[in-house]
Amino acid sequence: MKVAIGDVDVAAAEQTAAELGHGTIALHVDVVARDSVRAFLDETEQRLGPLDVLVNNAGIMPLGPLDAEPDATAQRLVDINIHGVLHGMKEALPRMRARGRGHIVNVASTAGKVGFAGGATYSGTKHFVVGVSESARAELRRSPIEISCVMPGVVNTELSAGTSPARFVAHIEPPLVADAIVAALRCPRFEVFVPRRIAALTKLGGVVPTAVRDGFARLLALDRVLGGADAEARRAYELRAAGSPDEDAGRDY
């Protein structure tokens, strides 16, 4: 495939594009603004050809107790994690419908299936991504356009800095998620859990009584994955996620 990387930090995108090679290009995009997403896709198609796959991957994960969360943080979560996905889908789908093909990959999270203490609003935004992906898939059922929803566990990126792994489910490396996405493109499927054993755990949690599910969550220490995060270890990321001028590190998400 020919690949275009969109990011608010064009320098970082350009570095990654150079590392990938094979004609990969880097362009600016701010997923919060629909016209920016449109411009990104327009230039991508102008330079690389018709859009076959869109991966909605932008997201942030500020952590903390819900009742202590600033309204500005909640708004930013919604703008990026929800509207960013919507903008990508709304701009990509008409192009794919017109050509009768395409595949949209929405990167959600295990938090799209399970609510995690310490990340209430984040979990809510990821539940939205799962729900909108399911609804869009239903609308497209009789079309050749595919929808995949990727639900990884905690991935070893800066976003997960200072978090603790759940029992029996270690943090995973980004290439594992990338491989799962490529596999879903080659052989389309809707639910993409990474690692796959998370699927069994979430489905089991969906059929047992609430008290049993809560006990199971405590056994796996799910309440400490986000709720027990090291605030100091996360400070630099949290400032970037907030778009704070106090941390001149470039990337918003």
Active site residues: 122
Contact between 197 and 144 under an 8 Å Cβ cutoff? The reply is no
If DSSP codes are grouped into helix, strand and coil, which group holds residue 192?
strand
- Residues 177-190 as b/e (b if ≥16 CB within 10 A, e otherwise) read beebbeebbeeeee
**Paired strand residues for 5:** 26
For the chain, strand residue ranges (E) read: 4-7, 25-28, 53-56, 102-107, 145-152, 191-194
Contact between 54 and 104 under an 8 Å Cβ cutoff? The reply is yes
Question: Which pair of tokens denotes residue 186?
Answer: 């080659």
Angle at the Cα of 89 from the Cα atoms of 1 and 55, rounded to 5 degrees: 35
Angle between helices 84-99 and 34-48 (to 10 degrees): 40
